């Protein structure tokens, strides 16, 4: 897929069709066993494969003004979840046309909404959130600020004018693979919050090999310092010498959870790569340190799969 060039989010786009596949092949880490080159069958259905090309066009316009709930617009602007935005409105920090907003207020394109001094732009019902895929290499942090001055993944993304990129989940400094960014706080919440049980899939290389008993423990549940944890799927993918590869799937994203689970078995993780998040696979053509943006058809499919109406 050719990455869409940076452009204003206000540019009208023409809807396009796209093909979907059951599960596109995930990229193979260098030095990994041949069996990792095949896609893993998972419980997630309707995986999204970014199209080979994207184009922008001018769509039809309408003079009819559409109203939307204020807290939904604030969430779409990337300020937080809808519930958090209701709390923000209740605190009196939001105004509509200079007047303090109330929970339940609706707005249209003529209204001027401010959170403090920041103006929040209305997005019509036709406009979809933006979604960016990024292949994170080791040695980058998922944070805007770092006291140590390390490279941030946000430095690699296109700059936005009226909104901001929200990271859907994190990867630690030494973990590589798929990161998803969006401009919609509610979509980010739908994919990240534990109650939605969105699958995360990883390729893991460890020093040594799990015994059948250890593999059973990891899929039935073990206790970590912050609570119980388990893999919903664990597959032995083979290896050479002292290195052995596994595929694992879990439905939450606690800090360093995959590494800590293997460490609880006395194993050291020497390589960790996220290859899928929910219905989105890391495209094999997306090189490390590069990003690509989903087109409207792909975003629409994603919203349908997660049950979210933008």
The CA distances from residue 247 to 225, 250, 261, in Å, are 24, 10, 13
DSSP tag of 61: -
The sign of the torsion formed by the CA atoms of 130, 290, 171, 221 equals: positive
Of the residues 108, 146, 172, 226, only one is catalytic, namely 172
How many other C-beta atoms can be found within 10 angstroms of the C-beta atom of residue 180?
Answer: 23
172 is an active site residue: yes
Single out the residue of 272, 198, 177 nearest to residue 43, CA to CA.
198
Instruction: Dig out the tokens for 63 from the structure.
Output: 């003079």
Q: Is the dihedral of CA 138, 144, 146, 151 positive or negative?
A: positive
Nearest Cα residue to 10 out of 160, 117, 111, 116: 160
CB atoms closer than 10 angstroms to residue 86: 19
What's phi and psi for 55, nearest 5 deg? -135, 155
Helix runs in the chain, H state only: 70-76, 82-90, 185-192, 212-220, 257-264, 296-306
The set of catalytic residues is: 172
């Amino acid at each position: 897929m050719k990455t869409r060039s940076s452009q204003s989010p206000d540019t009208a786009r023409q809807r396009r069709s796209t093909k979907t596949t059951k599960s596109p092949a995930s990229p193979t880490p260098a030095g990994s066993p041949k069996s990792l080159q095949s896609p893993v069958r998972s419980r997630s259905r309707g995986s999204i494969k970014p199209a080979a090309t994207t184009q922008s066009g001018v769509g039809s316009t309408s003079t009819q003004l559409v109203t939307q709930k204020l807290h939904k617009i604030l969430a779409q602007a990337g300020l937080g979840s809808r519930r958090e935005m209701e709390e923000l409105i209740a605190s009196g920090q939001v105004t509509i046309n200079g007047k303090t907003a109330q929970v339940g207020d609706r707005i249209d394109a003529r209204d001027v909404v401010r959170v403090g001094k920041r103006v929040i732009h209305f997005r019509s019902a036709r406009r979809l959130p933006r979604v960016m895929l990024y292949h994170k290499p080791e040695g980058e942090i998922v944070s805007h600020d770092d006291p140590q001055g390390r490279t941030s993944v946000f430095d690699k993304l296109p700059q936005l004018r009226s909104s901001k990129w929200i990271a859907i989940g994190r990867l630690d400094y030494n973990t590589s693979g798929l990161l998803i960014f969006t401009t919609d706080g509610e979509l980010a919440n739908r994919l990240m919050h534990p109650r939605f049980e969105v699958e995360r899939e990883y390729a893991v290389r460890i020093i040594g090999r799990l015994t059948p008993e250890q593999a059973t423990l990891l899929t039935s549940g073990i206790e970590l310092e912050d609570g119980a944890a388990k893999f919903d799927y664990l597959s032995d993918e083979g290896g050479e010498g002292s290195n052995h590869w596994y595929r694992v799937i879990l439905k939450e994203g606690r800090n360093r959870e995959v590494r800590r689970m293997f460490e609880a078995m006395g194993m050291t993780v020497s390589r960790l790569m996220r290859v899928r998040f929910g219905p989105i696979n890391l495209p094999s053509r997306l090189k490390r340190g590069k990003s690509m943006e989903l087109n409207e058809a792909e975003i629409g499919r994603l919203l349908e799969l997660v049950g979210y109406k933008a």
